[in-house]
Amino acid sequence: MGIGQILAWSTTYYLPAVLARPIARDTGWSVAGVVAGLSCGLLVAGVCSPLVGRQIDRRGGRPILAGSSVLMAVGLSCMGLAEHLAIYYLAWVCIGMAMAAGLYDAAFATLGRLLGDNARASMTGLTLLGGFASTLGWPLIAGLEHEMGWRHACFTLAAGHLMIGLPIHALLVPREAEVLPGTGAGAAKLAGPVQQSAALNRLFLTVAALLTVQSLVLSTISVHLLTLLKQLGIATATALAIGMLIGPSQVAARLANFTAAGRLHPAWSTRLGVLLCGLGVAFLIPAQPWLAFAAMALYGAGNGILTIARGALPLELFGADGFGARMGLLARPMLIAQALGPVAAATLLTRFGAQTLLLLLCGLATLSLLLSCRLPTGTSAR
């Protein structure tokens, strides 16, 4: 599944970073219009995620993950054939459905179904492998584009999903006995938190708000980091070096989490991740290059921890029953925030500058930290 995540993230979320300019240059479309395809895909993924989660609860993750490989292949093939912008966006609609069914949220839900309350270590290991998606995917996709052009690169990546991703998901992910609505241990909770007590509903809304607000911070930094650093007066070469710290810091934090899995309650992990991200954003405000290096090391570590927490925290607080439905409901506002947040941030960055945007992000990080302090840290909130 970790190999499947590397392939899935490389060919969806990280794809425009490599192919946006070649596509724009070849077709005459604007770079902004090309990159907007990812926002379209994220919105579609957000709409589809609750349905995907319910299907994982009913049928298990194996057919859903296998279907995501087929959808990604279809979407990438459609992208390679696109002669008009409308067809290009249609390709992203298909890829968006695949993202809902094939990225971390669906994988976490699958692990929760297979391993129950013992899935946390596997979730950590999954994100540890998935963290190499940009490290491996970017040079591979760039090499394919250089050798054969972006269209044939898309066709090759589509073939990769059918030849690598599909067999992994269809043959190697364990099969589950089908759980029909109204039957099985988790039947009472298949519809999600709405059938729980009022206290658990409030807790679920707290978790959803926390993860959504944090998604706004993370997606804004991911998209606008280089622009922010340049506006702060940091040289381009230095800004690139600063940005390169995020990936290794994420992997290091996930590795540390992996070795300590089970010893630190996910609520405390969440607080630590939010705090590190917030400090990372705050340390950018003085616009000092040496401090910016430390800032991105902290930010990357916090981001790495929070990626694990988005699966481990709901599992610990609410249990494995109905876990897929909960993950789908949690994913919807997060994905929508990732789609719309960077667009709003671009407007703020243009009108008010980097300092104002960073102060706003610090405020959001503080709100996330306050929300995380409301999370219970006992053995279970169930």
**Residues 2, 126 contacting (CB under 8 angstroms):** yes
Distance of CA 306 to the CA centre of its chain: 10
Q: Give burial (CB, 10 Å; 0-12/13-18/19+) of 121.
A: middle
Tokens describing residue 131: 């963290």
Name the strand (E) or helix (H) holding 305: helix 289-318
Give pLDDT, residue 133: 82
Spatial CB neighbours of 297, under 8 Å, sequence gap ≥ 6: 245, 249, 280
Distance (Å, rounded) from C-alpha 311 to C-alpha 328? 11
Domains of the chain: 2-172 (1.20.1250.20), 193-372 (1.20.1250.20)
Distance (Å, rounded) from C-alpha 95 to C-alpha 38? 9
Give pLDDT, residue 261: 54
Give pLDDT, residue 179: 43
Give pLDDT, residue 196: 58
What is this structure's pTM? 0.82
How high is the mean pLDDT of the chain? 87
- Look at residue 364 and give its three-state secondary structure: helix
Backbone dihedral region for residue 197 (phi beyond 0: left; psi -120 to 50: alpha; all else: beta): beta
Give pLDDT, residue 180: 40
- Encode burial over 146-155: b for 16+ CB neighbours within 10 A, e otherwise: eeeebbebbb
**Under-50 pLDDT residues of the chain:** 178-194, 380
DSSP 44-112: HHHHHHHHHHHHHHHH-HHHHHHHHHHHHHHHHHHHHH--SHHHHHHHHHHHHHHHHHHSHHHHHHHHH
Give pLDDT, residue 381: 53
How many helices (DSSP H) and strands (DSSP E) are in the chain? 16, 0
What pLDDT digit, counting tens, does each position of 238-270 carry?
888 888 888 888 888 888 877 765 577 889 999
Tokens describing residue 312: 């481990």
Give pLDDT, residue 193: 42
